[in-house]
Amino acid sequence: MANPNETPLFDGVFRYLLVRNWAFEKMKTCPRGSPLLDIQICHYLFFSNALAAVDLVGENFYGDDFRKPAYKTPYEQSLIASFDLALTGTRSTGSNGRETYAYVRELRNSMMHRGLDPAVAGHANDEFVFALCPATVRNSTGNQSHGRPCTYMVELGELCNRAFNRVIYEELEKNQVLNAGRVEISEGEVLDFIDNSDAMPDWAKSMARECMAKLDLPKIAVEIAATRMRQMRTLLGCC
């Protein structure tokens, strides 16, 4: 792309969202009687990848200190405002955007770093099992506690998707990361990639070099980029 930093950003966010969305579908349709590990993993993957996508965008556009001071920077204020919007009309327990966002962060941190089991309790209907949100989560020092904004993890996941999707999309759009017309790939870059590939045998590299002379590379690059932009928008619920 025009900005070399945009490709790893796009690829990283894309992969995080892909795993997040896969895990969310598993959370919504966990069969009754599922192995405990299956339930734990889909919840762990959802919250870890949801926050990873948010943090990657924050680091890329606002620097490594995008959370300093925590919950007060412009980027995190936009996330808090997005949670306020996402909570509108829901069956939340009266929580606001600030507390919900803090709860989600500390829930993720507790799962990843403090051994919290996301499937310690739940309810089931005739088909599926739904994990309960812990009543409270604490920060690493234990001096702050945040109450759950909703009863079930899947409800919290839906809130996260709505709030995070809005902010991620706005940041990517504002910085023209979703503009396929900005893609610039030179023939030299492609040839270097072919030559340096460990996966391609020599005969395949020779064929690829011959094909390069027959391709309209700029046109193909834009078409591929446009497809990936559409896929990204789909992951963010924008189509």
Provide the H-helix boundaries in the chain.
Answer: 6-28, 36-62, 74-87, 97-113, 153-174, 187-195, 202-212, 217-235
Q: What is the arithmetic mean of pLDDT over 41-62?
A: 97
* pLDDT surpasses 70 at 91: no
The mean pLDDT value of the chain amounts to 90
10 closest CA partner among 172, 165, 161, 162 = 172
The pLDDT value given to residue 183: 66
- Whole-prediction pTM: 0.88
**pLDDT tens, residue by residue, 2-30:** 443 467 899 999 999 999 999 999 999 99
* pLDDT surpasses 90 at 94: no
* pLDDT surpasses 50 at 181: yes
* pLDDT surpasses 90 at 209: no
**pLDDT tens, residue by residue, 28-50:** 999 998 999 999 999 999 999 99
The pLDDT value given to residue 157: 97
163 closest CA partner among 239, 63, 77 = 77
**pLDDT tens, residue by residue, 212-222:** 878 887 788 88
The pLDDT value given to residue 93: 61
The domain spans of the chain are 6-177, 181-235
